[in-house]
Chain A
Amino acid sequence: MQRLRLWIGLTSTAQTPSRRRAVTVLSSFIVAAGLTAGLFHVLRPVSPSVWPEGSAPSDLYLSAYRHDHTDHPLFLFGLFGLKEKIREADILLTGTSHLEFGVDAGQLSALLQAALGRPIKVLNLGRGYGDGAVLTRMILESNDIHDKIIVSDLYDLGILSDYSKLVATWNRVLASWKVLNIRSIYQKDRLLFGILPAISYTDGRLRLDDPSQSFVLRDEQGLDVYNFWSFESGELFRAAHPQADPLPTDQLKHYGPESTLLMGPHWCREHRLRCLFTLIPFPAADLAATAAWAGTRGLPYLDLSAEALTYFDTPPSHLDLAGRELLTRRLAAQLIPQLSADAVTGEGQHSPASFTVSAFGPHETATGQGFSVQPGGASTLWIALARGEPATAPLPVGIVVTWDGRDLPTAFDEKTLVLTTTISPDLYATPGHHDLAVVDAESRTDLAHLDFLVR
């Protein structure tokens, strides 16, 4: 018995005054806690009858609660199996909250599957804080993503938010901890719902609020937004919204697609990714100018019309559920021809990334100096290819090597996967870096790019 008393911490049986004191402290603790809770229960603002999550499906995860977001650490570190999920996807949608709310990956996947007759997995990697290409690159690199189609929203504040900078300093343990901590705060508030209010000090004001605060839930399948509930406005995303007056396009020029060049053609090629770009429409955006801008920089651009889209916020920038459904159809309509063309050229089965260059030689020469010179005076260069996944994919009908875009006579040994090409002396007569590309002769798709130096 004494051991039990010691165990539960009521000190020792021999010290009756100590035990009595402990009992006094404990009972006054309970009474005071009860009285304080009772007082705040009376003072609390009137709560909705049910927790706003309502009858949401069970396969949802908490994307954001109050001012904390879980998506950034989840995506960046590929936590809780997300890394595998991202790697298994065929198409990754990346961008800011415009894309997060603006496209339904599940719907897009179904539309593409229906049109192309094969399963296509799409994931929505949009996230808040205006983090565009900088974070997208970090996410793709940290999860080691290759051989995918990336559809990237050009809306980009051109920066890495303070939150993302902070997340980037974490490790997997801390990132997992932060995600679970946000979830635990949410659960705590859910438990307190209808019983106690939340006290907060914001904008110089002490507030006594309902514990339920703004949150975003996303589904675990396509990572699509399921709902966005705000304390002030209730359900935002799923509710119908009247169309707000659009702002003149010249008033908001704050989106800066220039930073998207961080994911430009060269980077995409280097990472064996097929990058497509678009702009999720919002009334203040100049869609035509953005399309023209993408054209001048050689970015493959999917033009999405803004017509009849509806938004849930003011000024309008984030699509609501109805707007998302409409826009997803438009995006599918743009993507289907691209993917169909891939199927015809074989790109869908063995994308440009199906081959990698394992070695080539020589890498450089002096100006005007030939190498492995053939009887006709031309030099010879060899390129060894290695198969990517799947290894059983059919070979392209023809492969050609280009020198700064100019086709070179090429021989391809299908057994050894070695290309041999001849280079005439006039090509290495001037010093500089030259782009050697391995190109699918039929579809004219680049399979690999190499740098050849003439010293």
Chain B
Amino acid sequence: MNYTDCLFVTLFALLVCISWSLDWLGRPGIWLKEFVLIAISWIIIYSWGGFGFIVFVAIVSTNYLISLGVGRDCLRRSRALIALAVTLDIGLLALFKYSGFLTDTITALTGIPLPPMAFGIPIAISFYTLHIISYLIDLHKGSITRLNIKNYIFYLSFFPHLIAGPIVRAWQLSPQIGKSPGRRRKIIGGMNYFIIGYSLKTLAGDNIGMAIDPYWQGGATLQSAADHWAIALLYYGQIYSDFAGYSLMAIGMAMLLGYKFPANFRSPMIAFSLQNFWRRWHITLSRWLRDYLYITLGGNRQGVWQTRRNLLVTMLLGGLWHGANWTFVIWGGMHGLGLVIERCLPKPPPWCRPWVILSGWIVVQAWVMMAWVFFRSPTLETATGFIHGMVRFGGAGAFDLAAPVALILPFAILPILHNTAPLVIRVVPRRYLGTLHGALAGSLFVVDIMMHTATQPFIYFKF
């Protein structure tokens, strides 16, 4: 079940109408609406596999029972229960997601053949594990109040964020549960978010993916370094369109149902430093990693070397969270290393700041693109071969891309436009912004209806 399916969009429109009607009934209606939303969310999880659904229900109920003992009243017990829950949750995540990776690695290093452990990855486990852990820790710190069982299940199950985020923290969503949406529900804003996200995904993400996938799967070859960079850039556009598109759809869906989600992307393609990049890319994940991992490790309060170590460890684990493959570890490692190097650089004097920003933008975006090569490549060999192609100058002329890829470039403009939109908005007089926004969404709405693309699952659904 994909959120870009024609049937989903149709039924979602119906659901929005039902949700408005139930909100109109006041408190009992809102209560009923949230039960309906839980039921729909569970059907969605079940549609991805009965096993995944059982695992979800088991983990959620176990954690809820544990959470009953977590709180400020007895810190010692609370700490012990959190340790138990985190061990259990991370252990299950490791079992399902990393057991195969672990046995393969041990076999490769020692030569001792270990039996394969292929349990399969239950849908959304990476995301709801983070939600569960953040709830427990926030509850322990006293920054949130305990949720009742219905609200807890709603918080974890709510389908717009369930499968691929944004990672909504309990303090962000729980105050909205069971309450009248009031001004939170913005129909026009929600529709705009949904339409723009849908367009990014279906017009840009899916079409770019269809054109460049053969290059990653070994079905097509590239000649020059320019071709390699073009494919890496197109992948950057694809993953941005796919994930930012999904996030916008999720925010839009939540808004239409009367809930507010945090932003997940803020034009990462204009980032001029890696620190700046991580404030713009998958914001909810980077904040989660900062709050629950980096700061727990000591953050930047234990000296220079510890700070660097903490950064590197956080990013390596962030990379590993994405998938059980060394390519993801290297992707995280490249970002961690980049962040460490950035911290070592001296602060530039004010007079050369524009040049630093420009050169920083070039270097950072090139570094990010090279890291994407590892993120996308199925194996380390493919990635290193591709990187070799990127830095090998010469070859059979620049831009020798096959026709399909060359033709896809118009679609690649979309993510670039979306990233540079804030720069454009700055120069547009404020009174015209609404018109511009509405006109853009209206045009994209019609194009979305006409566009026929083979529906591709969201890239982050598999994480």
Number of interface residues of A (CB under 8 A): 48
**When A9-B187, A173-B43, A200-B453 are in contact, do A181 and B442 touch as well, CB less than 8 Å?**
no
Chain A residues within 8 Å of B437, by CB: 25, 28
A to B CB contacts below 8 Å, 26 in the list:
A6-B182, A7-B20, A11-B183, A22-B434, A24-B434, A24-B435, A24-B438, A25-B437, A26-B438, A28-B434, A28-B436, A29-B191, A32-B438, A33-B442, A34-B442, A40-B450, A171-B47, A174-B1, A177-B47, A181-B8, A184-B5, A184-B7, A198-B450, A199-B447, A199-B451, A199-B452
Chain B at the A interface: SS class: helix
> Please, how many angstroms separate the alpha-carbon atoms of A32 and B5 in the complex?
24
Rank and list the top 7 A-B pairs by shortest CB-CB distance, nearest first.
Answer: A32-B442, A9-B187, A28-B438, A204-B404, A33-B442, A32-B439, A25-B438
Contact yes or no, A174 B48, CB < 8 A: yes
Chain A residues within 8 Å of B450, by CB: 40, 192, 196-199, 211
> Please, how many angstroms separate the alpha-carbon atoms of A6 and B187 in the complex?
10
> Which residue of A29, A201, A204 is within 8 Å of B453 (Cβ)?
A201
Answer whether residue A203 sits at the interface, using C-beta atoms and an 8 A cutoff: yes
Contact yes or no, A205 B407, CB < 8 A: yes
Contact yes or no, B47 A173, CB < 8 A: yes
Contact yes or no, A29 B451, CB < 8 A: no
Chain B residues within 8 Å of A205, by CB: 407
Answer whether residue A27 sits at the interface, using C-beta atoms and an 8 A cutoff: yes
Contact yes or no, B439 A196, CB < 8 A: no
Chain B residues within 8 Å of A3, by CB: 24
Answer whether residue A366 sits at the interface, using C-beta atoms and an 8 A cutoff: no
Answer whether residue B344 sits at the interface, using C-beta atoms and an 8 A cutoff: no
Contact yes or no, A28 B454, CB < 8 A: no
> Which residue of A7, A28, A35, A206 is within 8 Å of B23 (Cβ)?
A7
Contact yes or no, B404 A67, CB < 8 A: no
Interface residues of A (CB under 8 A from B): 3, 6-9, 11-12, 21-22, 24-37, 40, 66-67, 171, 173-174, 177, 180-181, 184-185, 188, 192, 196-201, 203-206, 211, 213
Answer whether residue B449 sits at the interface, using C-beta atoms and an 8 A cutoff: yes
Kindly provide the distance from the CB of A171 to the nearest chain B CB, expressed in whole angstroms.
Answer: 6
Contact yes or no, B438 A200, CB < 8 A: no
What string of 1s and 0s marks CB contacts (under 8 Å) between B408-419 and chain A? Answer: 101100000000
> Please, how many angstroms separate the alpha-carbon atoms of A141 and B401 in the complex?
48
Contact yes or no, A31 B442, CB < 8 A: yes
Answer whether residue B110 sits at the interface, using C-beta atoms and an 8 A cutoff: no
User: Residue among B1, B192, B438, B441 with the most chain A CB within 10 A?
Assistant: B438
Chain B residues within 8 Å of A40, by CB: 446, 450
Answer whether residue B428 sits at the interface, using C-beta atoms and an 8 A cutoff: no
Contact yes or no, B452 A32, CB < 8 A: no
> Please, how many angstroms separate the alpha-carbon atoms of A197 and B449 in the complex?
10
What string of 1s and 0s marks CB contacts (under 8 Å) between B337-378 and chain A? Answer: 000000000000000000000000000000000000000000
Interface residues of B (CB under 8 A from A): 1, 5-8, 10, 20, 23-24, 43, 46-50, 182-183, 185-188, 191-192, 207, 210-211, 402-404, 407-408, 410-411, 434-443, 445-447, 449-454
> Which residue of A21, A24, A66, A201 is within 8 Å of B207 (Cβ)?
A201
Contact yes or no, B404 A203, CB < 8 A: yes
User: Residue among B20, B23, B183 with the most chain A CB within 10 A?
Assistant: B183
Contact yes or no, B403 A200, CB < 8 A: no
Chain A residues within 8 Å of B186, by CB: 9, 11, 22
> Which residue of A12, A21, A188, A204 is within 8 Å of B434 (Cβ)?
A21
Chain B residues within 8 Å of A200, by CB: 451-453
Chain A residues within 8 Å of B439, by CB: 28-29, 31-32
Contact yes or no, B407 A6, CB < 8 A: no
> Please, how many angstroms separate the alpha-carbon atoms of A200 and B8 in the complex?
20
Chain B residues within 8 Å of A185, by CB: 6
> Please, how many angstroms separate the alpha-carbon atoms of A196 and B450 in the complex?
7
Nearest chain B residue, comparing its CB with the CB of A169: B49
User: Residue among B7, B10, B447 with the most chain A CB within 10 A?
Assistant: B7
**When A12-B183, A196-B449 are in contact, do A204 and B407 touch as well, CB less than 8 Å?**
yes
Chain B residues within 8 Å of A184, by CB: 5-7, 10
Kindly provide the distance from the CB of B312 to the nearest chain A CB, expressed in whole angstroms.
Answer: 38
Contact yes or no, B446 A36, CB < 8 A: yes
Contact yes or no, B188 A26, CB < 8 A: yes
> Please, how many angstroms separate the alpha-carbon atoms of A66 and B452 in the complex?
10
Contact yes or no, A192 B454, CB < 8 A: no
Contact yes or no, B452 A37, CB < 8 A: no
Chain A residues within 8 Å of B187, by CB: 8-9
Kindly provide the distance from the CB of B456 to the nearest chain A CB, expressed in whole angstroms.
Answer: 13
Chain B residues within 8 Å of A67, by CB: 454
> Please, how many angstroms separate the alpha-carbon atoms of A37 and B444 in the complex?
10
Contact yes or no, B446 A37, CB < 8 A: yes
Nearest chain A residue, comparing its CB with the CB of B43: A173
Kindly provide the distance from the CB of A205 to the nearest chain B CB, expressed in whole angstroms.
Answer: 7
